[in-house]
Amino acid sequence: MNFTKMHGIGNDYVYVDGFKQTLLDPHVFSVFISDRHFGIGSDGLVIILPSEIADFKMRMFNADGSEGKMCGNAARCVGKYVYETGYTTKKQISLETLSGIKYLTLTVEDEEVTSVEVDMGKAILNPKEIPIASQLNFFINHPLEIDGIIYGVTGVSMGNPHAVIFCEDIDYLELEKIGPKFEKHPLFPERINTEFVQIINANTLKMRVWERGSGETWACGTGACATAVAAIVNGYCTQGEEITVKLRGGELKITYKEDGRVLMKGSATKVFEGIIEY
């Protein structure tokens, strides 16, 4: 199986070209290749495919084999791949995902894609649509007890469900301990991605993320978008202004537009290509 290893600010996936190869068991293959000791090592698997309703289609699988609806960092890498491979000469691309069609704008220098902006669609704040097991109209700074500590949780969906929590200092959090307890809490019927966020200033946030099915990752695009939206609805930042979200792997630029759409801009990096026996 031929593959390409790529990452969006440290959120790394193994990419398989579905135009040239057929992968019959992607759930199992994702577990195999994601292992950082016995496989290639990644946060999961992305398959790039033709689409009947968009320019291209993306399927993404977490390290535990579960299929995710959307990954913003992976979407940027798909944009870089299809342009630099010659599948398209367009700098504005539509991409089919399980959470709908996303629109990518490529920045190209000397035929190399240096950054990609993704129109992530509208943020969802209705708990039933996220989903969160709550009858509230909005789930903003709602108290949730984990291990005797009360956390204020803001629920946002960007195609994937997110629980955003604002903290004083995120560097010393034991995510390996508390992350799974949020992910599998009965309040979240489809499990949850959890972002722990520190306010730096009115336009800068620092974030760590525990992703359902993958554990702590160096970056999460939909999580950065959810974090920016949560910061705005909680009054920390201003809607319409660009917000820098600092993650372990780098920075993303997020804008929560007045019409509810969220724009995300960041880099996409090709690491290496290879062949794996499977």
Residue 169: how many CA atoms within 13 Å on its side-chain side?
2
Question: Phi and psi for 159 in degrees, rounded to 5?
Answer: 100, -35
Beta bridge partners of 163: 155, 194
Report CA dihedral (11, 41, 100, 189) to the nearest 10 degrees.
-90
The helix (H) or strand (E) run that includes residue 105 is strand 100-109
Active-site residue flag, 77: no
- Distance (Å, whole) CA 145 – CA 166: 14
> To the nearest 10°, the Cα dihedral for 91, 97, 101, 107?
-20
The full length of the chain comes to 278
138: which 2 tokens? 């909005």
Residue 11 bridge partners (DSSP): 8
Q: Which of 77, 220, 225, 237 is catalytic?
A: 220
Residue labelled with tokens 């193994």: 14
- Phi and psi based region of residue 199 (left: phi greater than 0; alpha: psi -120 to 50; beta: remaining): beta
Active-site hit among 71, 77, 225, 237: 71
| Residue 225 annotated to the active site | no
Question: Could you give the residue numbers annotated as active site?
Answer: 71, 220
